Amino acid sequence: MAEAGGIADFDALRRAMAENSEEPEGPARNARAERLLVEAEKLNIPLAVIEALGHQLKVYNYSSEKDKMFVPFARLLRLWDERPGDFDEYETHSLHWVFKWVTAGMLDQPHIPLASIEKWLGEMEHRYRLAGHSERAVRSAEFSVAGHIGDLARAERAYTAWLAADRDRMADCHACELHGQGGWQLRNGRDAAALELWGPVLEGEYSCAHEPHTVLASSLLPLLRLGRADEARAHHLRGFRLVRPMESMRGAYADHVEFCALTGNEARGLELLAERPAYFTDTGQPRSRMDFLAVVTLLMERLTELGLGGQRVPGPEGRAWSAGELAGHARAQALELAARFDARNGTSYVGDQLRERMAQRPLVDRLPLGVRTPRTAPAGPVAPVVRAPAPERPSLPALIAEARRLSDTLQPHAMEAWAAVAEAAGNTEVDTRVRAEIADHTAMGRGPEGVELFERAAALYAEAGDEGEAIAARARAAYVRALAGELDEATAAIAEPYDRILALYADDATGVRQTASVLMSRARILMRRVHERSQGADGAEQAVREVLALVGGRGGADVRLVARAAEGRAMLAELAEHAGDAERAGELFRQASAQFVGAELPWFAVEYEVRVAALAHEQGDMAEAERALRAALEHGGPLVEPVGRAQLHLQLAEVLGGRGAAEEAAEHALQAAHWADEAGESSTMGAWARHQLGGLLLRQGRFAEAAEVLESALADLSAETHGDGAVVQTQWWLGDCLSELGEHHAAAERRLQAAETARHWPEQHDHATLAHLAAESLGNAGLAAEADLAYTRAGELWRAMGNVHFLVRSLRARAWLALRTEAGTAGARGLMAAAVAECETALAAHPDPAARDRLTAELGHTHRQFGDLLARSASEDAEDAAIQDAFEAALAETTAAIAVFAELGEEELHSRTGAELAAGWLEADLSRPADAAARARAVLDAYEGADPDDDTVRARRAEARQLLEPTEA
C-alpha cells in the first residue's frame, strides 16, 4: 500500500483514495481509509483532510460499520462552520449530500434518541435552505423518519410534499427515489402500484451503486403475491448476483433469504446464510441486523415445522447450531432489537412489523429456481395442518370393495389399496378368495421377487374354486422369472398354464379376462427372448396376435381387455422396430397410446409416446417428436415419477431449443432441473438440465440469470459423467455471460479454463476461439500484457488452421493493446502492418471469388483500423510536426481503406462512407477544409436516393453535414 511509506503529496493521496474506493466493501477498506486520513493530516493541506474525511465517511456508509460514519461527519461539519472557504465546490456539495446518509443512519441506531433525530432533521432543513436547495431531500428524510416510527399520517404528508418539491442536485437519484416511493405503496398493500413505480429501475432506465439491487430484492414477495412467479424467480437470480459481493446490503440479502423460505427453497436459504456468517453478528447497523435475524427465524421455524428442527445449519460462529436452536436464538435477538427501537420511538410499530414478518406462511409449495436446490422435505401442504378428529376407519368389507374397484379399472393406487386391505385383515379370518387377492397384489409389487407369492395366490384361488384365476397367477409367476433373467425356466413354466387355460376357455370353464391374462404373460415372456437374445420374433408375434384375436372387439367397458389390446399393439410396434421398420413401429405405438387414452387410462400411454418421440427423433421428424413428448407429459401428469418427468422435460427442452423456441425450451429445462433434484439426480441429470437452461437463458439475453444457473451447473458437471464437451460449453457460455455483465476478469478465467481443456482436442477451432475470447476479456479487464499473450496464442492457432480472417483480427487486437504497453506506438504500427501484409498475401494466393471478396473486406477494415490507431497514437504532448506526421499517416491508411471498400461496391457502402468521413475529419485537423468538404460531399452523393429511414444513412448524412458546416459558414 502506498501509505506504508507515507503519502508524498496531495495527488498521491487522491490516487490512494481512488484505489481504495475500488476495493471490496468491508473492514479492510475502512481501515485503509482511516490510515489515509492520518496521512492527509500530515500534508497540512485543509482540503486534503476534508477529502480524506469524506472518503472515510463514504466507505463507512457502504459497509457493515455504518455506525462509524457519525464521527467523520461531525468533524466535517465543524470544519465547514469554522472555515467554509477550505471546501471546494465538490466537497461543499458532498457535505450537504451526506446529510441524508447521516439522518437515515441515525434511524438505524436505536441508541440515538428520537428527539436528536428530529433535531437533526431540522438542522438539515435549515442548512439546505441556507444553501438554496429544494426541500425535496428534506421531505424524503422526514418520510423515512415518520414511516420508521409508524406515524403513517405524517408519512403520507411528507410523501406528498416530497413528490411535490422540485428535484435539484440534493435529491436522491431517480432509482433510489423510485425505490422509496414503491416501498410506500407496498406498505399500503398496493403491490401492483409498487411494481409499476419500480418498472424504470427494473428495466435499466435508472441505476446507481445500490440499484437495481434493492428494488430487485424488494420486488420478490409482491411478484409472488400477484402470481408472477416467473418474474420473481428471475429477479432472485439476477438480484442476488448483484448483492452477493456487497457487504453493506444485509437488508437486501435478507429479502432473498426470506424469498427462499417462502418458496420451498429452504436448502438454498441455508446456502445463502452460509455465505455470510458475519451477518449474524455485525453490529454496525442494528436495523439491518434485526431484519436479517427476522428472516433467519422465519427460515429456521419453517425447517422445524417440516420436521427438520435437529438439522445442522449455518449460524453465528463459535458453536454448532441446529435449526430449532437457531430459531429460538434469532427470534430472541430480533425481538430484543425491535424492543430497543420501539423504546426509542415510543411506539410498538417496529416490533409489530417484525412479528408479522416472522409469522409469514409460504406463498408457494416449491418454486423451481434453476440453480441446484434439493428439497429439504417432501412436498406437502403450504398451509398449517389443522388437526381434525381422525375419521372413522373404513370397515374391512369397504376396503376390499375399494381395492377391487381400483384394480378392476387399472387405477394408479390399486396396490396401495390392497396393502391397506392386508393391514386391516391382519390376523383376522378372511375368506380364501380375499387371501388370494392379497397375495396376488402383494406379489405384483415385488417384481422378480414375487414368484413364491404368485404360487401361493394360485393355490388360494384354486382352493376358492377359481381355477382360471389360479392359472393366471401361475402365468404371472412364470413372467416374473423372465424379468429375473430366467428365460428358459420362464418359457418352460408358461407352457402348462397356457395349455390348461385354452382348454378351460374352450369348455366355457373360465372367462376371457383370465384367458387373456395367461396369453399376455406368455407373449411377454416371448418378447423378452426377442429383446434379450434376439431370437423367436416369429413366435412372439404369433403369441401377440393370439392375444389380439382373443380380446379384439371384446373390450367395451372392461378396461382390462382394452389394455390387453393396447399392450398387444405396442408389442407389435416393438417387433417392427426390432425388424428395422421404424415407420410401422411409430404408427403402432401411436395406436396403442390412443387406445389407452380412449379407455381413460392415459398414464399407460406415456411409455409409448416416449417411444414415438425417440423414433421420430431418429427420423429427423422433430415436429412429431415434439408432439409425442408433449402428449407424454400431458398423459402422465403427476403420476410420472420425478426422474421420468425430468427426462421428459429435458427431451422436450432440447427439441424446442433446436427449433429456436428458446423461451419455452427454458421453461422445460427449468422443470427438468427441478424434477431431477426431486429425484436425487442433481449431480447427473440435474447438472445437464442446468447446462441446457443456462444456454437457453443466454440466448434470450438474460445474462445474470444464465450466469447463476451455469455456475450452479459447473459445480456438478464432470468430464467423466457428462463429457468434457459439456464442461467446456458451460464454461464458454458462462464466459459470455460474465463478459456481458462487465465481469471481464472472471470471464477471462472461465474462457481460459475452457481453452485449456479444448487444447487437447484433435480439432482446434474451439481452442483457438476460446483463446481469442479470453484475450478479449483480459484486455477489457485492463490486463494488457496477459491479453497480448492470449492473442498471440490464438493467432498461432489461427495460422495453423489457415484462418486468415481471425489471424488478422488477433494481430489488430494486439496492435491496439500495444499502445497500452511498453511496445508503444512502434510496436502497434508493426503489428497493424503485419495484419495488412497477411491480408495481401492471402489475397494474392486465393483463387475463389467469394473468398477473395471476404478477404478484400478484411483488408479494408484493417486499413481503416490502422488509420484510427495512427490518429489515436498522436500524443497531445508531442511536437506539432510529430502530430502532423501521425495524421498524414492515418489519412494515407484511411484513404487506402476507402479504395479497398470501393472495389466491393454496394456491399460495403456503409464501410466506405464511414472511412470517407474519418478521412474528412483528418483533412480538417490538417487544416485542409476544401478536401474535408469534398469528402463530406462524396458521402452525401453516395446516399443520393437512399432509404431515408435507414439509421446508418441518416447518421452518415448528419455527420457529413456537420463536417461541411465550417466551410459553409
Number of other CB atoms surrounding residue 645 within 10 Å: 24
Which helix (H) or strand (E) is 466 found in, with range? Answer: none
DSSP 124-149: HHHHHHHTT--SHHHHHHHHHHHHHH
Q: Give the cell for residue 330.
A: 434469532
**What is the arithmetic mean of pLDDT over 42-50?**
94
Number of other CB atoms surrounding residue 680 within 10 Å: 14
Q: Would strands 321-322 and 312-313 be described as parallel, antiparallel, or unpaired?
A: antiparallel
Q: Which of 899, 900, 969 is nearest to 929 (CA)?
A: 969
Indicate the DSSP class of residue 638. Answer: G
CA torsion angle 64 259 187 228 (round to 10) = 140
pLDDT at 876: 55
Alpha-carbon gap, residue 964 to 968, rounded angstroms: 6
Rounded alpha-carbon distances, angstroms, from residue 742 to 698, 733, 747, 781: 15, 14, 9, 9
Q: Of 556 and 58, which is predicted with more confidence?
A: 58
pLDDT for residue 550 is more than 70: yes
Which residues lie closer than 8 Å to 5 by C-beta, 6 or more apart? none
Amino acid sitting at position 177: E
Percent pLDDT > 70 in the chain is 96
**What is the arithmetic mean of pLDDT over 751-760?**
95
Alpha helix locations (H) across 552-702? 559-578, 582-598, 606-618, 622-636, 642-658, 662-678, 687-699
pLDDT for residue 848 is more than 80: yes
pLDDT for residue 231 is more than 50: yes
pLDDT digits (tens, 9 = 90+) for 461-491: 999 999 999 999 999 999 999 999 999 999 9
Give the per-residue SS3 of 817-849. Answer: HHCCCCCHHHHHHHHHHHHHHHHHHHHHHCCCH
Q: Give the cell for residue 740.
A: 456481458
Phi, psi (rounded to 5 degrees) for 160: -65, -45
pLDDT digits (tens, 9 = 90+) for 393-446: 789 999 999 999 999 999 989 999 999 999 988 878 889 999 999 999 999 988
Alpha-carbon gap, residue 577 to 405, rounded angstroms: 36
**What is the arithmetic mean of pLDDT over 774-783?**
95
Helical packing angle, 114-130 and 99-107, nearest 10°: 170
Lowest mean pLDDT among 156-160, 522-526, 884-888: 884-888
Which residues lie closer than 8 Å to 782 by C-beta, 6 or more apart? none
pLDDT digits (tens, 9 = 90+) for 782-819: 999 999 999 999 999 999 999 999 999 999 999 999 99
Which residues lie closer than 8 Å to 902 by C-beta, 6 or more apart? 912
Rounded alpha-carbon distances, angstroms, from residue 9 to 22, 79, 99, 196, 282: 21, 21, 29, 50, 36
pLDDT at 892: 95
Q: Are 22 and 59 in contact (CB under 8 A)?
A: no
pLDDT at 2: 47
Q: Are 506 and 551 in contact (CB under 8 A)?
A: no
Phi, psi (rounded to 5 degrees) for 211: -130, 140
Which residues lie closer than 8 Å to 760 by C-beta, 6 or more apart? none
pLDDT at 878: 60
Alpha-carbon gap, residue 570 to 628, rounded angstroms: 15
Alpha-carbon gap, residue 669 to 676, rounded angstroms: 10
5: pLDDT confidence band, cut at 50, 70 and 90?
Answer: low
Q: Are 160 and 143 in contact (CB under 8 A)?
A: no
Amino acid sitting at position 713: A
pLDDT for residue 1 is more than 80: no
Give the per-residue SS3 of 302-320. Answer: HHHHCCCCCCEECCCCCCC
Rounded alpha-carbon distances, angstroms, from residue 301 to 261, 355, 477, 826: 10, 13, 50, 68
378: pLDDT confidence band, cut at 50, 70 and 90?
Answer: very low
Q: What is the mean pLDDT of the chain?
A: 92
969: pLDDT confidence band, cut at 50, 70 and 90?
Answer: low
pLDDT at 874: 79
Strands annotated E in 227-352:
312-313, 321-322
The pTM of the full predicted model, rounded to 2 decimals, is 0.85
- Cross-strand pairs, 313: 321
Rounded alpha-carbon distances, angstroms, from residue 737 to 201, 228, 271, 698: 21, 25, 23, 7
pLDDT at 391: 60
**What is the arithmetic mean of pLDDT over 223-239?**
96
Judged by DSSP in three states, 781 sits in: coil
pLDDT at 338: 97
Amino acid sitting at position 38: V
pLDDT at 448: 83
pLDDT at 542: 96
Q: Of 918 and 105, which is predicted with more confidence?
A: 918
Task: Give the residue carrying C-alpha cell 442476488.
Answer: 240
Percent pLDDT > 90 in the chain is 86
Judged by DSSP in three states, 461 sits in: helix
pLDDT digits (tens, 9 = 90+) for 855-866: 999 999 999 999
Q: Give the cell for residue 209.
A: 451503486
pLDDT at 875: 66
CA torsion angle 697 701 703 707 (round to 10) = 30
**What is the arithmetic mean of pLDDT over 913-927?**
94
Q: Are 50 and 79 in contact (CB under 8 A)?
A: yes
**What is the arithmetic mean of pLDDT over 237-262?**
95
Q: Which of 165, 164, 139 is nearest to 154 (CA)?
A: 139
557: pLDDT confidence band, cut at 50, 70 and 90?
Answer: confident
Alpha-carbon gap, residue 813 to 521, rounded angstroms: 71
